[in-house]
Amino acid sequence: MTDITKLIRQDLVDIKPYRSGRNANAELIWLDMNESPWDFSEEIVCKNVNRYPEPNPSTLLSQLSEYYQIDAANLLLTRGSDDGIDILLRLFCQPFIDSILICPPTFIMYEKSAKIQGATVIEVPLKKETDFAFDVEKVKAGLTKNTKIIFICSPNNPTGTVVPVKDIVDLCQEIKSAIVVVDEAYIEFDEKSMSSYINQIPNLVVLRTLSKAFGLAGIRCGVLMAQEPIIEYCQAMMPPFPLSIYSISAALKATTPAFIQQVKKYITIIQEQKALLQQALNKLSIVTKIWPSSANFLLIEVNDPQKMEQICAKNGFIVKNFSSKPYLSNCIRMSIGTQEQNQKLISLLQREFTS
């Protein structure tokens, strides 16, 4: 029998599929994927499923333009931020020639998408000793003539740290041989967006999403922001009808002024609950450090991550154990849930880990 795997690109034979661990158990409390704990699905109505949708819906772009305070011509709808990352890599990186630069620990899809495209990955780690700070000078020094994309996640996943706007602007202005992609999946929890610089900086790209603060991870709707030439080229890289009717309908509902005000109220709750959860976790004997976070999650260093993960799971709480990952030894990431969920979690951990 022919071994079909011999036909696969040899640089991809060790690639692994993304595993979310997600299943249909509604009784579990999912605190591992930085999602919103509120479900808005009953508010979404979907019609016209017998027709192909508009590829880049003008009404939705108009609403997003108003929300983001940026011209609609500078926006492209994508199937989540993952889609934007993949498009940019295919557009700018020649396989087995070009490279990208990332600052780990950070979102895994930059590296994975680069591997699929055959792009080399240069790593300039965040400075763990100073709360995972961004090292702009080392980033500049790490670039090569073939580096085409610098990926910056701010607020960063999984650390929750923010890269100063000044550092990003300086990097864009000094480095003309690469584009700077700022992934702002969690920016609603911080509000220091780079989107206002799009018209001033030709090599700046900003990625946004409706998955996190808007609570619409299931519809897979993201936004790529850039100057018009980049938008046009990225549009050409996409299939004819990338977003489903359902995704467009949900996104239209979610970007109305009334819904945005509702989202802002939930953001305030998340921020308040994050502070209360952090205060409670700091008192636990198992916790050794909690990093400052400008997102909807906390990165926590503990002296026994396996034990904490197992106790949480046994009691219905699913958290993200990063302890086997580089730069994140003994680290657990917890998304912020509802007030009720957080209080149950605090009570559980206090019972198990109060000395």
Determine the average pLDDT of the residues in 253-260.
95
Pinpoint the alpha helices (H) of 175-300.
228-236, 245-254, 257-281
| Residue 353 φ/ψ region, left for φ over 0, alpha for ψ in the -120 to 50 degree band, beta for the rest | alpha
pLDDT class for 4, splitting at 50, 70, 90?
Answer: low
Please state whether beta strands 99-102 and 147-153 pair in parallel, antiparallel, or not at all (unpaired): parallel
What's the gap between Cα 149 and its chain centre?
17
Determine the average pLDDT of the residues in 211-227.
95
Q: How far is CA 318 from CA 72, 280, 306, 321, in A?
A: 39, 18, 12, 9
Two structure tokens written together for 284: 């636990």
The pLDDT of residue 250: 92
More confident residue, 24 or 46: 46
pLDDT at 1 over 60: no
The pLDDT of residue 40: 72
346 vs 351: CA distance, rounded Å: 8
The pLDDT of residue 7: 63
> Which of the residue ranges 20-24, 135-139, 290-294 would you say has the lowest mean pLDDT?
20-24
pLDDT class for 213, splitting at 50, 70, 90?
Answer: very high
DSSP H/E element including 60: helix 58-68
Per the omega criterion (within 30 degrees of 0), is the bond before 158 cis? yes
143 vs 341: CA distance, rounded Å: 44
- Cβ atoms of 318 and 32 within 8 Å: the answer is yes
Going from the N-terminus, what domains does the chain have, and what CATH number goes with each? 4-37+259-353 (3.90.1150.10), 52-255 (3.40.640.10)
332 vs 323: CA distance, rounded Å: 7
